[in-house]
């Protein structure tokens, strides 16, 4: 697909997708410079909910495909492939909506994109050249999510467990786990699997050297 390679990193919430993507990105940027690699996050494409009151926003099922504006993510990936700069939205997990500022993403030889439901959507799958799935066990993901959501996303233990039982766990079985079949590479132990990080970095080095 053209001269851009899009690498998707999918998997359950708190499986280590962000850590994996940022480790690959930062280590390659330190080695080769940052101009030829860009990173996008599916979470940035959660639908804007600024028209709703906060007590309405908390009722949204954020683990269902309908919570995402995947059409915009597809459009942005197509534009980046066509050599156009895009403005990626920014999302606040505390406010449950987009913030006004956007992040400018420039076209690059390699684009990393990470998110829970990337491989569930056929239109998105068409945009991916390489797909990676973080196969971290669900109980480990839950423990990490509890710590992260309390420390970084302003959540209480009660709200985390309710959301987990109602939405996060069902979405894993209904959408996320089945999408593993579309992955080219399945990674155990998430964001600290040094061998998997090395394999992806080697592939990217090859692409940049072509």
Ligand X SMILES: Nc1ncnc2c1ncn2[C@@H]1O[C@H](COP(=O)(O)OP(=O)(O)O)[C@@H](O)[C@H]1O
CB 103 within 8 A of CB 120: no
Site for ligand X, residues 127 to 156, rule: CB under 6 A: 144, 148
Distance, CA of 141 to CA of 210 (rounded, Å): 37
CB 42 within 8 A of CB 17: no
**Residue 13 vs 179, nearer CB to ligand X:** 13
φ/ψ (deg, to 5) at 140:
-65, -40
Closest CB 96 distance from ligand LLZGTKA7, rounded Å: 4
CB 166 within 8 A of CB 41: no
Which residue in the set 19, 29, 32, 74 belongs to the binding site for ligand X (CB under 6 A)? 19
Which residue in the set 14, 113, 117, 196 belongs to the binding site for ligand X (CB under 6 A)? 14
Which residue in the set 4, 5, 18, 49 belongs to the binding site for ligand X (CB under 6 A)? 18
Q: Choose one: 69-77, 101-109, 169-177, 187-195; the region binding ligand X (CB under 6 A).
A: 187-195
State the first-to-last Cα distance of the chain, in angstroms, to the nearest integer. Answer: 15
Query: Site map for ligand LLZGTKA7, 159-188, x if CB under 6 A?
Result: ----x----x--------------------
CB 132 within 8 A of CB 179: no
**How many of the other CB atoms lie within 10 Å of CB of 25?**
18
**Residue 145 vs 207, nearer CB to ligand X:** 145
Q: Which residues bind ligand LLZGTKA7 (CB under 6 A)?
A: 13-14, 17, 43, 46, 62-63, 93, 96, 116, 163, 168
């Amino acid at each position: 697909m053209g001269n851009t390679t899009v690498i998707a990193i999918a998997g359950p919430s708190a499986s280590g997708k962000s850590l994996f993507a940022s480790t690959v990105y930062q280590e390659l940027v330190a080695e080769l410079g940052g101009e030829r690699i860009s990173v996008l996050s599916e979470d940035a494409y959660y639908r804007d909910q600024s028209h709703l009151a906060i007590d309405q926003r908390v009722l949204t099922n954020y683990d269902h495909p309908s919570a995402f504006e995947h059409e915009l993510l597809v459009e942005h990936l197509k534009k980046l492939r066509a050599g156009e700069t895009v403005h990626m939205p920014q999302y606040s997990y505390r406010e449950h909506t987009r913030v006004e500022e956007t992040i400018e993403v420039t076209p690059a030889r390699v684009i990393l994109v990470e998110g829970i439901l990337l491989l569930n959507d056929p239109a998105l799958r068409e945009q991916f050249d390489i797909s990676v799935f973080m196969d971290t066990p669900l109980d480990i993901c839950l423990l990490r999510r509890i710590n992260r959501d309390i420390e970084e996303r302003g959540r209480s233990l009660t709200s985390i467990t309710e959301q987990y039982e109602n939405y996060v766990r069902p979405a894993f079985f209904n959408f996320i786990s089945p999408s593993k079949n579309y992955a080219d590479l399945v990674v155990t132990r998430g964001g600290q699997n040094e061998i998997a990080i090395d394999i992806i970095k080697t592939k990217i080095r090859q692409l940049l050297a072509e």
